[in-house]
Amino acid sequence: MARVSGLLRNIHMEENALKRSRINGGKMKIKVKVVGPLHQYVQQPQGEWDLSPGTTVDQLIDLLGLPEKIKKTPITMLVNAKFVKGSVELKDGDELTLLFPVGGG
């Protein structure tokens, strides 16, 4: 029963995102946070972006203007606090957080 409830919730969220996209003229709003030392490489480390549906995390990273040498280093990417790969398509209302990987011992 919980699985069905979760699926229905996901369908409802997708429908709302589609409605917002239509209202925004086919654009979706994505919140971006670039944190830690990585923020020094972008002009706007926090903000909201209007993007076309189907935009991927990698495409948004290109738009942020990170230098090529930095894009070649490992970057931790989170969408709505979940680890993702650069090929993931963003959805209206998503929050993308970018940072260098954190390690410790």
Find residue 78's DSSP bridge partners. Answer: 83, 97
Is 105 contained in some domain? no
CATH code of 77's domain:
3.10.20.30
Structural domain boundaries, residue 8:
2-99
Is 26 contained in some domain? yes
Please write the tens of the pLDDT for every residue from 46-94.
Answer: 999 999 999 999 999 999 999 999 989 999 999 999 999 999 999 999 9
Is 104 contained in some domain? no
Structure confidence at residue 105 as a pLDDT band (50, 70, 90): low
In this model, does residue 12 exceed pLDDT 80? no
Q: Mean pLDDT across the chain, nearest whole number?
A: 83
**Alpha-carbon dihedral sign for residues 38, 40, 45, 51:** negative
Is 38 contained in some domain? yes
Is 15 contained in some domain? yes
Structure confidence at residue 21 as a pLDDT band (50, 70, 90): very low
Residue 13 has a pLDDT of 54
Is 28 contained in some domain? yes
Is 44 contained in some domain? yes
Residue 84 has a pLDDT of 98
| pTM of the shown model | 0.74
The total domain count for the chain is 1
Is 31 contained in some domain? yes
Do residues 32 and 47 make contact, with C-beta atoms less than 8 angstroms apart? yes
